[in-house]
């Protein structure tokens, strides 16, 4: 395992609004593979750690790239919860002639845990009548009623996608995950999420637009800016009634995590092939847990097939 040391400190506590202190994580001078990506919050905590960085080629003799694995924890204090969250990884090269693109992620598309079914019944009844007819009086048409039953399935879910955010051509530069709670149970989003990303590095030839291959340890540093924006329900009348307003914490962006070709951060948890990164089954790397416990997280790490893939 290799690492480049601890943080050089935290800065900037925002104004208190009942959600605790928030901090910005900074790089030390020339720091590579910073392990602490995000570390903020008290009553609502968001923590993200860099777990693994392995440089290699996407396939034997192919383009240079890297696998990046990161862990997220969303930890509300007792009696509170996160309704949702959005995680963004946005990549850029420190040399504009080199393009860094997102080639593969996990989770990709919609994945879910904790399915529950709720039976919703809608009914309508009324008693129509005709007003008085001379010599007859009021005429009742009896009672009319209509009812409908519908079973609805709810999940705690995460949806991953690859996007173009800072450019309108070339490879995708952003990996995004959207987390949502089980709307029927209202128990909050997943407490722990592990994500994996495969990126490609190549030189963009300005004359013909073709990409030129780089070797594993060749080329400039590149970086990723990571943001996690969480949604928190604002409660009134104690914790009994939920309003529709959503509180979005706006905090300073943490320093980007810098990567250097050829400099790995290996945790010992994985055995990635450095010559075929794109062939790795990232579904065996990803994990999502509803409970903040070592046992629960280990169970999902060992059995990713327990996650349900939701088809559109």
Compute the CA torsion angle 90, 91, 96, 101 (nearest 10 deg). Answer: -110
Mean pLDDT, range 216-235, rounded to an integer = 86
Q: What is the pTM of this model?
A: 0.73
- Residue 298's pLDDT band (boundaries 50, 70, 90)? low
Query: 196 in the Ramachandran plot: left (φ > 0), alpha (ψ -120 to 50) or beta?
Result: beta
Please state, for a pLDDT cut of 90, what percent of the chain lies above it.
Answer: 41
Whether the pLDDT of residue 191 is over 80: the answer is: yes
The secondary element (H helix, E strand) that includes residue 296 is helix 294-302
pLDDT-derived band at 130, boundaries 50, 70, 90: low
Round to whole Å and give the CA distance between 205 and 194: 35
The pLDDT tens digits of the residues spanning 228-267 come to: 888 877 653 343 334 433 444 444 578 999 999 999 999 9
Q: Give the contacts of 11 (CB within 8 A, at least 6 positions apart).
A: 23, 24, 26
Radius of gyration in angstroms for the set of CA atoms belonging to the chain, rounded to a whole number: 26
Give the residue, 5 or 133, on which the prediction is more confident. Answer: 133
The C-alpha atoms of residue 86 and residue 265 are separated, in whole angstroms, by 25
In this prediction, residue 277 has a pLDDT band, given cuts at 50, 70 and 90, of: very high
* pLDDT at 147 > cutoff 60: no
Contacts of 179-183 with C-beta under 8 Å, sequence gap 24+, read 179/74, 179/82, 179/84, 179/85, 179/86, 179/87, 180/83, 180/84, 180/156, 181/81, 181/82, 181/83, 181/84, 181/156, 182/114, 182/116, 182/154, 182/155, 182/156, 183/154
Residues 6+ apart with CB under 8 A from 218: 64, 261
């Amino acid at each position: 395992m290799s690492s480049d040391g601890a943080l050089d400190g935290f800065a900037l506590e925002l104004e208190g609004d009942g959600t605790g202190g928030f901090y910005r994580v900074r790089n030390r001078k020339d720091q590579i593979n910073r392990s602490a990506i995000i570390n903020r919050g008290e009553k609502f905590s968001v923590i993200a750690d860099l777990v693994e960085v392995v440089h290699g080629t996407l396939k034997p003799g192919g383009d240079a790239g890297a696998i990046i694995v990161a862990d997220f924890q969303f930890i509300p204090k007792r009696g509170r919860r996160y309704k949702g969250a959005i995680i963004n990884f946005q990549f850029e090269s420190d040399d504009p002639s080199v393009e860094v693109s997102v080639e593969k992620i996990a989770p990709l598309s919609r994945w879910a845990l904790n399915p529950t079914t709720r039976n919703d019944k809608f009914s309508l009844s009324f008693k129509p009548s005709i007003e008085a007819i001379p010599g007859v009086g009021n005429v009742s048409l009896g009672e009319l009623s209509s009812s409908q039953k519908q079973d609805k399935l709810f999940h705690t879910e995460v949806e991953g996608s690859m996007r173009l955010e800072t450019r309108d051509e070339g490879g995708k530069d952003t990996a995004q995950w959207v987390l949502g709670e089980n709307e029927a149970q209202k128990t909050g989003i997943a407490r722990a999420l592990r994500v994996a990303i495969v990126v490609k590095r190549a030189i963009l030839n300005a004359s013909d637009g073709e990409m030129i291959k780089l070797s594993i340890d060749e080329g400039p540093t590149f970086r990723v800016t990571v943001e996690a924006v969480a949604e928190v329900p604002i409660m009134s009348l104690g914790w009994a009634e939920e309003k529709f307003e959503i509180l979005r914490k706006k905090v300073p962006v943490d320093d980007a995590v810098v990567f250097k070709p050829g400099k790995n951060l290996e945790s010992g948890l994985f055995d990635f092939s450095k010559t075929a990164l794109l062939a790795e089954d990232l579904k065996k790397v990803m994990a999502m847990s509803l409970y903040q416990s070592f046992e629960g997280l280990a169970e999902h790490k060992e059995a990713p097939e327990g996650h349900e893939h939701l088809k559109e």
